[in-house]
Amino acid sequence: MANVSNSLGLVPGAASSAYAYREELEGSRPRLARLAPITIAGATLGGALLLALPAEAFEVIVPVLIGLSLVAILLQPRISRWVAARREAEEEGRAPAPHGGPAVAAGIFGTGVYGGYFGAGQGILLLAILAIGVPGELKDLNAVRAVLVGIANLTAGIVFLFAADLAWEAVLVIAIGSTLGGLIGARIGRRLPDAVLRAIIVVVGLAAIAQLVF
């Protein structure tokens, strides 16, 4: 009940964050049009798995997944330079696809499943995939991440509305807090340099791991 209520309550926060990032999202509509259906499919499967499977095994895996995503975020600049150089050498200067390739699509689907099933750390994992596999500045990719996380939460929330019990008081409190947080957080995030934003993400991720483990 806590998990499904949290997923539904976070939807308004994702919407407010996307609104605050509207300038960064102006050039991302084709990318979102390609990635959103993949997220919806993954989140639908993840929500169904949450209702069908016990949570204990996934709770053990969550800290490991967040830790791997933090490593990917830290290594993103170096990995991106290596990927760009390899693409330039292999494709004779042809620009990489703005939406990433099949590996990115698979990663988006996987984070959609993860978000629909549990959700903790989904945004960090998703940003790591986008930062490594998709060209663009981190703040622009963060705006795309905000929309895709919101789509995953909304999709799972719709599944839960018809098949799970919800604590509506908690949903309301989370919705109010996440809406304010989405607006304020986006205003801060869109002004931060990539290095600072990356450092904040790592600190938040480490705090999440500590909370889950201890």
Give the residue carrying structure tokens 């990489």.
96
How far is the C-alpha of 109 from the C-alpha of 111, rounded, in Å? 6
Distance (Å, whole) CA 105 – CA 113? 12
List all residues 6 or more positions away from 100 whose beta carbon is below 8 Å from its beta carbon.
130, 133, 134
SS3 assignment, position 94: coil
Q: What is the pLDDT along the chain (214 residues), one digit of tens a residue?
A: 888 888 888 889 888 888 888 888 888 888 899 999 999 999 999 999 888 888 777 777 778 877 877 887 777 777 667 766 655 655 555 555 656 688 899 999 999 998 898 876 788 888 888 888 887 777 888 889 999 999 998 999 899 888 888 999 999 999 999 999 888 888 887 788 878 888 888 888 888 778 777 7
DSSP state of 137: -
Of the candidates 192, 75, 188, 191, which has an alpha carbon nearest to the alpha carbon of residue 128? Answer: 75
pTM: 0.78
